Amino acid sequence: MGLTGILPLLALLSFFFWVTSRAVHRNWRNQRVAFLQIVMFGQLAFCIYGTANLVLESPFLASLFWTLMGLGLRMVRMLDFDRSLREYNYGY
């Protein structure tokens, strides 16, 4: 992968964790934020497991890794949309 591959990967991972942690902070009143926290900690577990094991390069674990990242980013958008609708309707 080299330097040209690790830098975009680290940028994408830091973006994912930054966006999800901010979404957890913004939507702490919502009960569904627990699912986003589970996805975030699952992604962190994949990252820790991947540093110690090269099996993460297999297509089976890699597909779970990228699916979990996509699911987390989609959950952030859904939580923010739900919060914006609530603020628009109820004013808080």
39-56 residue pLDDT tens = 999 999 988 888 887 665
Report the helix count and the strand count for the chain, using DSSP H and E: 3, 0
* Burial class of residue 56 (count of CB atoms within 10 Å of its CB; 0-12, 13-18, 19+): middle
Query: What pLDDT is recorded for position 76?
Result: 95
* pTM reported for the whole predicted model: 0.82
Cβ count near 48 (within 10 Å): 10
Tokens of 33: 């934020």
52-71 residue pLDDT tens = 876 656 778 888 899 999 99
Element (H, E) at 19: helix 2-26
6-19 residue pLDDT tens = 899 899 999 999 99
User: How many residues would you count in the chain?
Assistant: 92
